[in-house]
Amino acid sequence: MRVNNGRLWGKFNNGEFEVRSLTESDLEEALEILDKSFFLHESVCIACEINLPENAQARSELRELCRLTAYDGVSLVVKHVESGKIVGVSFNKIQYIPPSGQDPFFIQFRKERTKSPQAQCLMDFMIDVDSETDVFELYKIDTLLELMFLATLQEWGRRGVACELARYTIQLAHELSEGVGVNEMHLQLRDMRPKAITAIFTSIFSQKAGRSQNFKVINSVPYTRFTYNGKTFDQSINPLHKTAEHVVFLL
């Protein structure tokens, strides 16, 4: 990840917005989008009560998850060109089959870095959905890029921000699969070549963004199956959003 001057991937809406690689200098502003939007409005964050004011520890732990993820060097932001403000972010993670005896990244983070039951709830959801359909085994691959958290500031919604972040995540992953741009990645990841992109889209809006970029649904999980604090997820989540979709895009 560069210190500043992230790579320009493209512009959209007649040049109103630009998509750039996330840099160290922009990381704190990108993390603030989680507090201002993702933790408050994302379906599973609501179901796990991460959105409640008293659960600041959970939000802090998940910010740390994204901070660590950002240092993989494959995350993207959308900036409003005129103001320079970051209005959307895609925290992307390189995932790979770990060496024997070592836990995958999410399980390791859940064990070692989360103490709050709310953050543990969200991590358990991600781990359960990821493990239900093993993409590594299904497609006989060893490395993928996971579009982990996709967030847009509410006041900048319905402008195509999520779609463009998904689109340029695909372009970024294509280049990495061919060994292009690997010097932007964390040093320990530069030999990794993703063969696919995965995501868990948890709302009809992120699912629409995924369909627009031809992600394939490999598992649809109803919110009735998951519980927190005595309630099934569907009792807390807006009924517009009935399922989470585990999706894949093969490179």
- Indicate the residue type of 100: S
The number of distinct structural domains making up the chain is: 1
Residue keyed to tokens 């991937």:
9
Domain presence at residue 175:
yes
Please name which of 37, 228, 30 lies closest in space to residue 119, comparing C-alpha atoms: 228
Tokens of 147: 């579009």
For the four alpha carbons of 72, 8, 61 and 107, in that order, the dihedral sign comes to negative
Query: Where does the pLDDT of residue 236 fall: very low under 50, low under 70, confident under 90, or very high at 90 and above?
Result: very high
- The answer to whether 80 and 87 are in contact (CB under 8 A) is yes
Count the alpha carbons within 13 Å of 18 in the hemisphere toward its beta carbon: 15
- The answer to whether 72 and 94 are in contact (CB under 8 A) is yes
Domain presence at residue 2:
no
Domain presence at residue 3:
no
CATH of the domain at 84: 3.40.630.30
Query: Is the pLDDT score of 1 beyond 90?
Result: no
Mapped onto helix, strand or coil, the DSSP state of residue 54 is coil
Between CA 3 and CA 66 the distance in angstroms is 17
For the four alpha carbons of 183, 72, 139 and 208, in that order, the dihedral sign comes to negative
pLDDT digits (tens, 9 = 90+) for 100-153: 999 999 999 999 999 999 999 999 999 999 999 999 999 999 999 999 999 999
Task: Give the domain range for residue 95.
Answer: 8-250
Whole-structure pTM value = 0.97
